[in-house]
Amino acid sequence: MKKLRLPLTAEDIASLHAGDAVLLSGTVYTARDCAHKRLFELLDNRKPLPFPLENAVIYYAGPCPAPEGKACGSCGPTTSARMETFAPRLLDLGLGGMIGKGEMNEETAKALVRNKKVYFAAIGGAGAICGNAVQSMRCVAFPDLLSEAVYEMQMKDLPLVVAMDCFGESIYRRN
């Protein structure tokens, strides 16, 4: 199991291969479908994004409210295929990677290779485990979207698998 700290370096990404188990720590930003649409409205209107995109990692998740004594409630991944229309452009603009669940399309795979970035899979159905990795969180954009707002999260040892690497390999298309 590899322990990685965000932001990922080019060397970190080059060391990752589809199927590698990872414990990821550092800052991630949550964004689901509705938040992605708003991010693209900002980009299309040449307005600043609510977080620095360069080398950022977006977690396709909507955190549940935190129970007493915790930073976050359940925070499992959502289906990444819903973000396929957004991922290539964000990767081309400097996004460092994504976290979600399920396979993403060939256009996203090509953007990962072209930009030397990575897509991680979190464990679907294990939102409580993912939520336990959240050390702190704060809403940074679109609070009206509630759990689908953009949250900045500090993670400690979020368990992930490299789903698609910068070499074009994928756990979903193994030979």
CATH code of the domain in which 148 resides = 3.20.130.10
CB 131 within 8 A of CB 155: no
175 domain residue, yes or no: no
Question: In which domain, by residue range, is 156 found?
Answer: 2-167
Q: How far is CA 8 from CA 34, 37, 63, 149, in A?
A: 26, 26, 23, 24
The confidence score (pLDDT) of residue 52 equals 96
173 domain residue, yes or no: no
Q: Tens-of-pLDDT digits for all 175 residues of the chain?
A: 999 999 999 999 999 999 999 999 999 999 999 999 999 999 999 999 999 999 999 999 999 989 999 999 999 999 999 999 999 999 999 999 999 999 999 999 999 999 999 999 998 777 888 999 999 999 999 999 999 999 999 999 999 999 999 999 999 986 5
The confidence score (pLDDT) of residue 174 equals 67
The confidence score (pLDDT) of residue 168 equals 96
CB 66 within 8 A of CB 151: no
174 domain residue, yes or no: no
Which residue from 95, 70, 80 is spatially nearest to 32, judged by alpha carbons?
A: 80
Say whether 17 is catalytic: no
104 domain residue, yes or no: yes
Which residue from 172, 174, 140 is spatially nearest to 49, judged by alpha carbons?
A: 140
DSSP, res 55? T
Q: How far apart are CA 105 and CA 128, in angstroms?
A: 28
The confidence score (pLDDT) of residue 95 equals 97
80 domain residue, yes or no: yes
Q: How far apart are CA 113 and CA 94, in angstroms?
A: 13
Among 36, 38, 101, 117, the active-site one is 36
120 domain residue, yes or no: yes
144 domain residue, yes or no: yes
- Count up the domains in the chain and report the number: 1
